[in-house]
A and B are shown apart, each in its own frame.
Chain A
Amino acid sequence: MTVPLTWYLVLSGILFSMGAVGVLINRNALVIFMCIELMLNAVNLAFVTFSRQQNSMDGQIFVFFIMTVAAAEAVVGLAIIIALFRNKATVNVDNINLMKW
């Protein structure tokens, strides 16, 4: 007996929503970045599930490109956070409001 593929999709949806909630409730820029990674992982799970359902390899290839983008985003984003921390000595997004208005 195999697991219905719908379950994987529901798990992916739950994981994505948790990432979105994490972005909304956290004030620490590093944790917000981790929640973005959580959302990217949820999308990867959905891609692999549809790839399995369609008996196709395309979804798995797309997962690699998403991973590439995630790695590039993490590297550049963390470099920005380090540069911000040097200038303002904080990673709290409430205090980084220079460009707010």
Chain B
Amino acid sequence: MLESLLFIIMSLIIIACAIGVIFQKNPIYSAVFLIQTMVSLAVLYVLLHAQFVAAVQVIVYAGAIMVIFVFVIMLLNLNKDELERDRNKLPMQKPAAIILGLILVVMIGIIMARTVFQSAGGEYTPEVMDQIGNTQLVGKMLFTKYVLPFEIASILLFAAIIGAIVLAKKQIIKEEK
């Protein structure tokens, strides 16, 4: 009962904050709403017995990624007319997009509501997971079955660091010449 109540409250917060992200004019408000969405999602992950994913969601998503976003918004320092300009170039865009989005919700909703779950075949039931510990299981999987994707992910992050430095530094080098 408590779990259902928590789920309903959190999903309402998530949907409300997602609407906030979409319809806010000011990007900094969108960012704050997005942080709230991600923290509420972390609560749902705890309800689904994925405690480590919940912790990583708060640290990496709500912490690191959103800090980058807020940092860039502050760095660009957009003024008001910059945000308002050219909003009506395509007059029917907003209602058309909302109608298409509603159609998408209905389509995904029908598919999801009709999902027939096969009988659970895995070995990691919530009881087993609580006994061993979610974090330990994730570590074991990452370094045995998924060790190659794990290494590739590290290369991807390295490439992203290099790419960000190259893209952001280009202009400065030109100015120095």
Which residues of the other chain, A, contact B117 by a CB distance below 8 angstroms?
Answer: 5, 53
Interface size on A, residues (CB 8 A): 75
| Complex CA–CA separation, A22 to B17 (angstroms) | 12
CB-based contact A92/B65 at 8 Å = no
In which size bucket is the chain B interface? 35 or more
Interface SS of chain B? helix
Looking at the assembled complex, report how far the CB atom of A56 sits from the nearest CB atom of chain B, in whole angstroms.
Answer: 4
- Which B residues are closer than 8 A to A by beta carbons? 1, 3-4, 7, 11, 14-15, 18-19, 21-22, 24, 27, 30-31, 34, 37-38, 41, 44-45, 47-50, 52-53, 56-57, 60-61, 64-65, 68-69, 72-73, 75-76, 78, 82-83, 85-87, 89, 93-94, 97-98, 100-102, 104-105, 108-109, 111-113, 115, 117-118, 120-126, 134, 137-138, 141-142, 145-146, 149, 153, 156-157, 159-161, 163-164, 167-168, 170-171
Q: Please give 12 more A-B residue pairs, beta carbons under 8 A apart, in addition to A48-B50, A75-B163.
A: A6-B115, A13-B111, A25-B93, A26-B22, A34-B21, A37-B65, A41-B41, A52-B50, A72-B156, A75-B160, A79-B164, A79-B167
